[in-house]
Chain A
Amino acid sequence: MGRNVGGLDRELFQKTFSKVKASPKMYQEVIRMTEQRKPKRFIVRRLVVAALVLALAAALAMGANAATNGEFFNHVVTFVTTTVDGEMEIEVTADLGAITEDGMVFTVRDTGDGRKSYITYRDKNGNIITEEMDMDKEITIEKDGAVYGGGAGQDSAASQPNVEAESAQRAASNAG
């Protein structure tokens, strides 16, 4: 039949064992496992977005966004992410020099269970405010600073509750 090597037919050997294959299900499982290895990165992205939303909301509450003609995001200067004792912590330092005399620091903390997240920030009166964040929202920030958000599984910005408005309301109540 095929090439005989040392008394064994190599081609027959290859043809026979080419049928021994891993199942496609197993392959999918490996890909899924590697995707599951990145929850922190995902949380970081979402937390950064949430922090940005709150920063924007706070700025809006102070009328800053209007004053800067929607250029608020140009003033965000640093993002610091650290993991401390299994908790994800993000500091978003917004340079609000153009808006107020004092800078503002926002800290978003995830409890690690992927469900509860808290945002802590110092308001312009120096009070430390901690709020639970709803991290199940998909939030989109457009380049021009427009913010859209809503529940999981919904993809139309028009159909979503406006996070900007929600957050602005929340921040306004804290600031007030």
Chain B
Amino acid sequence: MGDGEFAARAQQFADTIYRIAFHTCKNAADAEDIVQNVLLKLYRADKEFESEEHLRRWVIRVAVNESKKLVCSAWFRRSVPLEEYAESLEFSTPEESALFLAVMELPKKYRVPIYLYYYEGYPAKEAAALCGIKVSTMQTRLQRARERLKKKLTDEKER
């Protein structure tokens, strides 16, 4: 991949990788480390991509794997209060802020599936492939994540 193309691809995918990483590790510093690792892998990748979608899936898959690796490693020590980070995002409505915090409060195994399904728009089958899990597992995780989110957001409204 040439420098010009890489710079364009880095810009194109940096936010997607960052969101996946953030859903896994819940902090900006680690998420940025993961973005760097994934983009450097992309830079070094001696691979022909059949299509834009093929490239996109490759990047997401690597991002999911790199995120898992960091979380499992001894490096995963840093932690910044989520509320502090949420404030920096300057959400325009309380609903956005509540949804962000509710998603981040989900157990780790639900966060990336819910992101891939609701943000990236991948159906359960494809999201399962990207996460390296069974379709039935993905469906269960999505269902449980939705139930938890609905409950959490309803409780928030009632307060």
Contacts and interface: CB of A to CB of B under 8 A. Distances in A.
Interface residues of B, number: 36
> How extensive is the interface on chain A, given as a class?
20 to 34
A152 interface: no
B22 A20 contact: yes
Given A31-B10, A33-B36, A16 B150 contact: no
Which applies to chain B's interface (DSSP): helix, strand, loop or mixed? helix
B83 interface: no
B119 A17 contact: yes
B96 A22 contact: no
B146 A8 contact: yes
Contacts, number: 77
Interface in B54-87: none
Interface in A1-23: 5-8, 10, 12-17, 19-23
B36 A20 contact: no
B135 interface: no
Contacts of B14: 22, 26-27, 30
Contact of B10 (A12, A16, A27): A27
B12 to A, nearest CB: 11
Contacts of A21: 15, 18-19
10 cross-chain pairs, A with B, having the tightest CB-CB distances, nearest first: A22-B18, A13-B118, A16-B96, A22-B14, A19-B89, A26-B32, A30-B39, A21-B15, A16-B99, A6-B146
Interface of A: 5-8, 10, 12-17, 19-23, 26-27, 29-31, 33-35, 37
